[in-house]
Amino acid sequence: MPATMELIDQYIEDNRDAFQQDLFELLKIPSVSTDSRHKNDMQLAAAWVADQFRAIQFQTEIVPTPGHPIVYAQSPKIDGAPTVLVYGHYDVQPPDPLDEWLSPPFEPTVRDGSVYARGATDDKGQMLTHIKSAQAWINAGKTLPIQIKYLIEGEEEVGSSNLDGFLNENLDRLDCDIAVISDTSQFGPGKPAITYGLKGIVYFEVFLRGPRQDLHSGTFGGSVANPANAMAKIMGSLVDENGRVTLDGFYDDVLDLTVEEREQFASLDFDEQRFREQIGVSETFGEQGFTTLERRWARPTCDVNGIYSGYQGEGAKTVLPCFAGGKVSCRLVPNQDPDKVRDAMKKHLQANCPPGLDLEVICHHGAPGIVVPLDSPYVSAAASAIEHGFGVAPVFIREGGSIPVVTAFKELLGVDTLLLGWGLDDDNTHSPNEKFSLGDFHRGIKASAHLWNEIGNI
Amino acid sequence: MPATMELIDQYIEDNRDAFQQDLFELLKIPSVSTDSRHKNDMQLAAAWVADQFRAIQFQTEIVPTPGHPIVYAQSPKIDGAPTVLVYGHYDVQPPDPLDEWLSPPFEPTVRDGSVYARGATDDKGQMLTHIKSAQAWINAGKTLPIQIKYLIEGEEEVGSSNLDGFLNENLDRLDCDIAVISDTSQFGPGKPAITYGLKGIVYFEVFLRGPRQDLHSGTFGGSVANPANAMAKIMGSLVDENGRVTLDGFYDDVLDLTVEEREQFASLDFDEQRFREQIGVSETFGEQGFTTLERRWARPTCDVNGIYSGYQGEGAKTVLPCFAGGKVSCRLVPNQDPDKVRDAMKKHLQANCPPGLDLEVICHHGAPGIVVPLDSPYVSAAASAIEHGFGVAPVFIREGGSIPVVTAFKELLGVDTLLLGWGLDDDNTHSPNEKFSLGDFHRGIKASAHLWNEIGNI
């Protein structure tokens, strides 16, 4: 290891208590973005974050938005070296239900090596690792080998509604080569993870309108199309008995898993039985020919998210409903085109609408699936850094969900994102007794400090 | 026409005003069975009906039940002649919404030849025709050629929950050859109808339970069976694109329409366009190869009456629901066996339930379809009587709904029912401004008086 990194590692080791105290300070600020009573706390949290950057002379700005402010900071440009954009958020979920917390949500308390507080893992603790790592470089008397830009927002938990606006207005300022976010999880304890793929999504609301009002199913049944039958038929035909989505051309552009990826997933010792117990099902079910992890991470899906028509109360009512509503979404993988899937869905809906019914379709947000190529030098840099920080090589995982900011970075800034997970999936994110392992906090700082070095060497 | 009937016709003609006054008296009693504030009015209405029978020395009883009383009366047994059981009900629907009535619901008011009041057609006015006709016979000094038994209940609008008990406890007393009910409609103005067929029904509630709680559709979608998708697939597969029910063996026992029936239906000049406008659909839809009337009256059907799962609110929510519920019923025609259809449905549901979901099925009430043979002498008698009363031959129609009392008469007493409709389908049954044509009231009395004569001649 070069002398620089030894120095920095030592600095990080020597300052564990100070870093931890800083984390606790931030956790004490109840920056609940959804609750207007905490508007002032949001300002305090933003100012606290900004002060972290000012303490190391980064160019720093608290940018007002129609909602809560964005903290933006950057270190000097290093000629010939890459620029990294770090994203994080200082806002947190509401702590309710309060009476389920073992210690108050905004009084950070250490138990069994973890700090318990709202925001501990999501995202104050994870986000702070990338600030503390930069402080370590500077305070150890070293020059960062790359430029780092920080975008720390205060509205992640309420839909980031002002983020795209900020991105669009600051495309030049945000110019970078790669983005870094730590707001995900390890694959398991001691298995830090690089999430290199996310699914995209297309979401539809479907409305079927038939007779003017609900009809007597005896007097009229069988003589007019029943919106409930029709909605069921339409929604029921989207996935076949083999778990395959039936939309025309749905799989045409799907980027298949490589042999290496399937081997990597298989090597993860995913505990199928624990998974079933966790969610409470006796059997898993999905696209034939794929494992549970492959289905969750890398295969496109179609789920009915809601369906409603007619009588929902107790017992029997012999009604022929005049209306049916449905919500359905497809999760997409690279290289599926959201617009193409959207068209196929619309065609499917129209083709299956029986005579006499009016069909209305509302298309909600769409985003493509994303993968960061595993042979990218940034992925290798992150892997090395994690090995330095955690003492083990990371595992490479994908995620079935979408992270809108990753899509935005790809679409607006043209960059991939390294999703480096320091959290654990039992950290109680969004729930009472949220926690973050202090060991992982410090390992995360060390990994982050090494990441700047590794990227500088690319 | 024999002299007897001329005399009776004359009596009916001479007593139009008196009959009408009696009708108005009954209509003034707010006998709303569902509303406990009208408990006393129910007693008053029952007593009023009983007095009608006592006035002509019929053996009369007001039978208490756990709910509202049943009025039972009978004329003397005529040896060698049939016995008829007349069913009607003295209770009415609530009049709400009150402010939509043009005249108060319990102040009978004549406009355009119709009396407007709650219960005018359903069923006080229609029921009374069969009492007034007997009074005409007696008061004209004639002896009824048959025995008539009257069962007038006070709980028809609240589910007739004490009727089966009464029937079972009085099987001997209710012994008869044919039942008569006027609680249906003419096919159109001036088209009095004999409803000779009713559909049966089987009704199911279906529950699908999957994961312990709702899941994130990105993280878990595609790896466990989704109860919403599954419920849609199950419900959507019950009727095919040709409007045919797909249950195994569903059509095996169906009593096909005869050539004569199809010709009779076709001769009714059913106004397809008016039908579409009435219910507000641009096109009808049903089983291929059958007309709208055939589908409504004589073909078995399967309608989803309710379906619900997941998110039903505004906009998008990416949830994989843990539960789905559905309600579905089949309308049956003779000679389908409700038990056989029930078994076929259960098999269908089980066969289509994907792995990892728990299926629960609740089977509600079942009843077979019913037809009175068109060549029955009672049908001929009713047809002649109607021609006497209305001056036109009746049309023969069927009904898509079930009338539980008809099923009960068939199953418990072993008799068919003549459903003789004096009402009109725009009489606003159950709605504000319920009405009954006074002309049809008097024609109904005359037809009923002739019915006793015609049945006596069988």
Q: Do B221 and A303 touch (CB under 8 A)?
A: yes
Q: How far is A297 from chain B (nearest CA, A)?
A: 8
* Token code pair at residue A106: 């905004």
Report the percent of chain A where pLDDT is more than 70. Answer: 100
What is residue A152's three-state secondary structure?
Answer: strand
Please, what is the Cα angle at B266 between B263 and B271, to 5 degrees? 170
Nearest of B100, B92, B160 to residue B121 by alpha carbon: B92
- The bridge status of strand A395-399 relative to strand A193-198 is parallel
CB atoms within 10 A of CB B251: 14
Kindly give the parts of chain B with pLDDT less than 50.
none
Q: Do B229 and A304 touch (CB under 8 A)?
A: yes
Q: Quickly state the pLDDT bin for A366 (edges 50, 70, 90).
A: confident
Cα-only R_g, chain A:
25
User: A240 to chain B: nearest residue by CA?
Assistant: B233
* Token code pair at residue B9: 């016709």
Q: Residue B235 is nearest to which of A229, A320, A325, comparing CB atoms?
A: A229
Length of chain A, in residues: 458
Partners of B355 on chain A (C-beta within 8 Å) are: 282-285
Partners of A221 on chain B (C-beta within 8 Å) are: 296, 301, 303, 331, 400
Report pLDDT for A403.
87
- What DSSP string runs through B14-25? HTHHHHHHHHHH
Q: How far is A302 from chain B (nearest CA, A)?
A: 7
Q: How far is A86 from chain B (nearest CA, A)?
A: 24
* Token code pair at residue B394: 């009746």
Upstream peptide bond of A15 is cis (omega within 30 degrees of 0): no
- Mean pLDDT value of segment A383-400: 96
Upstream peptide bond of A97 is cis (omega within 30 degrees of 0): yes
Report pLDDT for A290.
98
* Residue that has been written with the tokens 């006393």 in this structure: B40
Report pLDDT for B314.
87
Report pLDDT for B381.
98
Is the per-residue pLDDT at A134 higher than 70?
A: yes
**What does the alpha-carbon distance between residue B203 and residue B302 come to, in Å, rounded to a whole number?**
10
Nearest of B130, B88, B74 to residue B385 by alpha carbon: B130
pTM: 0.88
Structural domain boundaries in chain A: 3-198+369-456, 200-254+300-367
Report pLDDT for B49.
98
A254-295 pLDDT, tens digit each: 999 999 999 999 999 899 999 999 899 999 999 999 999 999
**What does the alpha-carbon distance between residue A25 and residue A6 come to, in Å, rounded to a whole number?**
28
Q: Quickly state the pLDDT bin for A206 (edges 50, 70, 90).
A: very high
Q: Quickly state the pLDDT bin for A1 (edges 50, 70, 90).
A: low
Of residues A430 and A388, the one with the higher pLDDT is A388
CATH architecture classification, B3-198+369-456: 3-Layer(aba) Sandwich (3.40)
Q: Residue A236 is nearest to which of B222, B233, B306, comparing CB atoms?
A: B233
User: What is the 8-class DSSP label of residue B265?
Assistant: H
Report pLDDT for B357.
97
Which of A321-336 are b and which e, b meaning 16 or more Cβ less than 10 Å from the residue's Cβ?
bbbbbbbbbbbbbbeb
- Mean pLDDT value of segment A191-206: 95
Report pLDDT for B1.
60
Report pLDDT for B43.
98
CB B379 within 8 A of CB B448: no
Q: Do A217 and B316 touch (CB under 8 A)?
A: no
Q: How far is A303 from chain B (nearest CA, A)?
A: 7
Tell me what ipTM this predicted complex has. 0.89
User: What is the 8-class DSSP label of residue A68?
Assistant: S
CATH of A200-254+300-367, one of 3.30.70.260, 3.30.70.360, 3.30.565.10, 3.40.1190.10: 3.30.70.360
Please, what is the Cα angle at B98 between B96 and B101, to 5 degrees? 115
